[in-house]
Amino acid sequence: MNWLIKNPLTRLIRRGWRNFNLKRRYQGFILGQQVEITNCNFGRFNKVCDRSRLANSKLGDYSYVGTDAKISNAMIGKFCSIGPNVTISMGMHPAKNFTSTHPVFYSLTFPSHNRFATEQGFIEHGTVTIGHDVWIGQGASICDNVTIGTGAIIAAGAIVTADVAPYSIVGGVPAKFIRKRFKTEQIEQLLKSQWWSQSDAFLSKYHREFHDIESFIKKIIPQLNQDQSQ
């Protein structure tokens, strides 16, 4: 039986069958080649590009993942754009108090023919929470236990080690705040509007207003406020 599990052809068939069922289960789901998905949930009209690997994660409506991305233990909102070679929540090593950072001293899950640990001595995996309409640039890395606010932009190649505020732009190693995308009052109105929860018909009708923040604030916000008050 072990040879069946390790056989490349068997793995390919199982992956193909699993991905086939995902396409049937989720509306408008697009899957690239050689994608690996384990224990994930999706919304509508998601896309996962070639060779990406997702585990224990959730993607909201319309969010997509570029090529060669690695995502684990992440809750990702709607309309998120995740670029190629992005890494999200790939595990942690102890940096304080532990004499050694090697997992054979504290991990029961690390694959090894020999280990010294007899109990799990360190939490190796955290979670990442990503809001709606977040853009993560190519090659960025998001560390475990980080929250990225709605509307944020993560610059290409950034390593994010701390929480990112909504509608802010960060970049660098480690990532630092660069600027807000909009004025504070505009950000407050956008967050309150929760436009990402509107119907497809609504978003289609007003799609041109998404091209300009001033037009959005002027035309869509009053409409959403009116709808919420009814």
pLDDT of residue 91: 85
Residues 155 and 70 placed together within one structural domain of the fold: yes
pLDDT of residue 135: 98
Enclosing domain of residue 42: 1-90+129-181
What is the per-residue pLDDT across 53-65, written as a single tens digit (0 to 9) for each? Answer: 999 999 999 999 9
Q: Could you give the CA distance from residue 58 to residue 20 in angstroms, rounded to a whole number?
A: 18
Tell me the pLDDT of the chain averaged across its residues: 90
Name the percent of the chain lying above pLDDT 70: 90
pLDDT band at 4 (very low <50, low <70, confident <90, very high): very low
Q: Is 218 left (phi over 0), alpha (psi -120 to 50) or beta?
A: alpha
Is a pLDDT exceeding 90 seen at residue 139? yes
Tokens found for residue 156 = 């290409």
pLDDT of residue 15: 67
Residues 190 and 140 placed together within one structural domain of the fold: no
Name the percent of the chain lying above pLDDT 90: 65
Cβ neighbours of 62 (radius 10 Å): 21
State how many domains the chain has.
Answer: 3
- What average pLDDT does the segment 59-83 reach? 98
Asked if 146 and 162 touch (Cβ cutoff 8 Å), the reply is yes
pLDDT band at 2 (very low <50, low <70, confident <90, very high): very low
Task: Please say which residue of 125, 147, 173 terminates a domain.
Answer: 125
Is a pLDDT exceeding 90 seen at residue 168? yes
More confident residue, 137 or 227: 137
Q: Is 72 helix (H, G, I), strand (E, B) or coil?
A: strand
More confident residue, 115 or 169: 169
| H-state helical runs in the chain | 2-6, 8-25, 184-193, 200-205, 213-215, 221-229
Is a pLDDT exceeding 50 seen at residue 1? no
Q: Is 38 helix (H, G, I), strand (E, B) or coil?
A: strand
- Specify the CATH number for the domain of residue 174: 2.160.10.10
Residues 44 and 117 placed together within one structural domain of the fold: no
Residues 60 and 162 placed together within one structural domain of the fold: yes
Asked if 18 and 37 touch (Cβ cutoff 8 Å), the reply is yes
- What average pLDDT does the segment 126-143 reach? 97
Q: Please state the pTM of the whole predicted model.
A: 0.86
What is the per-residue pLDDT across 86-133, written as a single tens digit (0 to 9) for each? Answer: 999 988 888 888 988 898 988 888 888 888 888 888 888 899 999 999
pLDDT band at 230 (very low <50, low <70, confident <90, very high): low
pLDDT of residue 229: 59
Q: Tokens 């990702």, residue?
A: 76
Residues 152 and 193 placed together within one structural domain of the fold: no
Residues 75 and 160 placed together within one structural domain of the fold: yes
What is the per-residue pLDDT across 147-161, written as a single tens digit (0 to 9) for each? Answer: 999 999 999 999 999
The DSSP code for 219 is I
Q: Which of the residues are catalytic?
A: 102
Task: Please say which residue of 79, 106, 125 terminates a domain.
Answer: 125
Residues 11 and 111 placed together within one structural domain of the fold: no
Is a pLDDT exceeding 70 seen at residue 228? no
